[in-house]
Amino acid sequence: MQDAQAYGVRAEVDAAPRDETGAPGEAAGVLATWGRRLLSLPLALRVSLSVALLVGVGALDAATGKEISFSIFYLAPVSFAGAVISRRAGAALAALSAATWGYLDVTTGPAYSAAWIPYWNSAVRLGFFLLVNELIERLRRAHASERALARTDALTGIANARVFGERADWIIALVRRNGRPFTVAYIDLDRFKRVNDEFGHQEGDKLLRRIAILIADAVRSTDLVARLGGDEFGILMPDTEEVQARVTLERIAAAIAENVTDRWAVEASVGAVTFTEAPEDIGHAVRQADDLMYRAKAEGGGRILQATWPEPEGSVSEASENGR
């Protein structure tokens, strides 16, 4: 069980879509990358690109005459504006596209049998463009919602193991550049199984949600709290030395003792490692903290054990006993 817990975060990261190597998710990764790049462009540039697309399509439509249809290409500026600017921008490009198409329809083709027909055709095209724009907006919202759900623990509402792994990789890369320390903490609840056995899983879920809130309230805005497993939580504290981490962890222990222990009779075993140099990867970092956490549980639970890496053997210190 310990191995599964220690490697769980690394497995979540390995399961993510990869790019540039032909690995799983390559196409999705490339599209996502280009999407982020487009969204990062200045608003004025995105608007200009949308208008340029419309001008280009209109120019080609005018140059080719009435025999060659360009109807589907008018969706390009509409789709682009709706996807990378906003629904309102997409609607505006829909109106401009319909008007451009209608104008060229009247000026470059034969006369219609009735004066109202060009207006009718333009209105139908506008309706079609607006429908496409609405579908793009729905798709964009669904994608954003799905992305948020994929990065959030469904029970507690905090980050999940996938986000923990991604953030840890980013912090490790930052440490390699600036040499600043960071701390990884691994928290496991003592006697949590008894809560489920005696009071039911619904009460156990309520306890986990409460623990998540207490931990999140006790850390800085720059720290990350994630649920890594059943009753296991991880904390990433960038730019944090051992003494600073101890203050935060003791604050968490005190909050749990004050708000949780009396009602549910559980405590927390914590293993925390401060890295003064970048570890090999997140798997190595989690294993270090995980081993300390299991040592804390083996020594009776309800305590915090800390270490600094790299350090000579025997450098582990007991920071507190959670009010024992």
Say if residue 324's pLDDT is above 60.
no
Q: Answer whether 320's CB lies under 8 Å from 250's CB.
A: yes
Band of residue 7 on the pLDDT scale cut at 50, 70, 90:
very low
* 300: DSSP letter: T
**CA–CA gap between residue 157 and residue 212 (Å, rounded):** 8
Of the two residues 149 and 240, the one the predictor is more confident about is 240
The whole-number pLDDT of residue 70 equals 78
The whole-number pLDDT of residue 190 equals 92
Please compute the mean of the pLDDT values over residues 124-150 and round it to a whole number.
86
Q: Answer whether 90's CB lies under 8 Å from 133's CB.
A: yes
**What are phi and psi for residue 119, nearest 5 degrees?**
-70, -40
Sign, CA dihedral 205-211-215-217, equals positive
Say if residue 149's pLDDT is above 90.
no
Q: Give percent of the chain above pLDDT 70.
A: 85
Mean pLDDT lowest among 14-18, 52-56, 235-239, 241-245: 14-18
Concatenated DSSP letters for 221-266? Answer: TTSEEEE-SSSEEEEEEET--HHHHHHHHHHHHHHHIIIIIHHH--
Q: Answer whether 305's CB lies under 8 Å from 319's CB.
A: yes
The whole-number pLDDT of residue 184 equals 95
pLDDT in tens, 184-196: 999 999 999 999 8
> CA geometry: angle at 169 spanning 163 and 171, to 5°?
100
Long-range contacts of 76-81 (CB under 8 A, 24+ apart): 77/50, 77/51, 77/53, 78/129, 78/132, 78/133, 79/132, 79/133, 79/136, 80/49, 80/50, 80/53, 81/46, 81/47, 81/50
Please compute the mean of the pLDDT values over residues 88-100 and round it to a whole number.
93
Say if residue 20's pLDDT is above 70.
no
Count CB atoms within 10 A of the CB of residue 203: 14
**CA–CA gap between residue 11 and residue 59 (Å, rounded):** 52
Band of residue 251 on the pLDDT scale cut at 50, 70, 90:
very high
Please compute the mean of the pLDDT values over residues 242-252 and round it to a whole number.
94
Say if residue 66's pLDDT is above 80.
no
Of the two residues 191 and 261, the one the predictor is more confident about is 191
**CA–CA gap between residue 310 and residue 312 (Å, rounded):** 7
Q: Answer whether 255's CB lies under 8 Å from 218's CB.
A: yes
Tokens coding 143:
């994608």
Say if residue 16's pLDDT is above 90.
no
* 25: DSSP letter: T
**CA–CA gap between residue 125 and residue 94 (Å, rounded):** 9
Selection from 67, 92, 60, 66 nearest residue 77 by Cα: 92
pTM: 0.63
pLDDT in tens, 266-323: 999 999 999 999 998 888 899 999 999 999 999 988 999 999 998 655 555 555 444 4
Please compute the mean of the pLDDT values over residues 199-205 and round it to a whole number.
92
**CA–CA gap between residue 4 and residue 12 (Å, rounded):** 12
Q: Which of 231, 262, 281, 291 is catalytic?
A: 231
Q: Which residue has the tokens 């034969």?
A: 110
Please compute the mean of the pLDDT values over residues 89-98 and round it to a whole number.
93
Tokens coding 179:
């040499």
Of the two residues 82 and 311, the one the predictor is more confident about is 82
Please compute the mean of the pLDDT values over residues 258-272 and round it to a whole number.
89
Say if residue 76's pLDDT is above 60.
yes
262 has catalytic annotation: no
Domain ranges of the chain: 41-150, 161-320
- Average per-residue pLDDT for the chain: 84
Q: Please list the residues that pair with 17 across neighbouring strands.
A: none
Mean pLDDT lowest among 40-54, 98-112, 304-318: 304-318
CATH code of the domain made up of 161-320? 3.30.70.270
Tokens coding 274:
């401060």
Of the two residues 216 and 5, the one the predictor is more confident about is 216
Report H helices in the chain.
2-14, 26-40, 43-64, 75-84, 87-108, 117-150, 161-178, 192-199, 201-218, 242-256, 262-264, 282-298
The whole-number pLDDT of residue 97 equals 92
Tokens coding 255:
């909050």
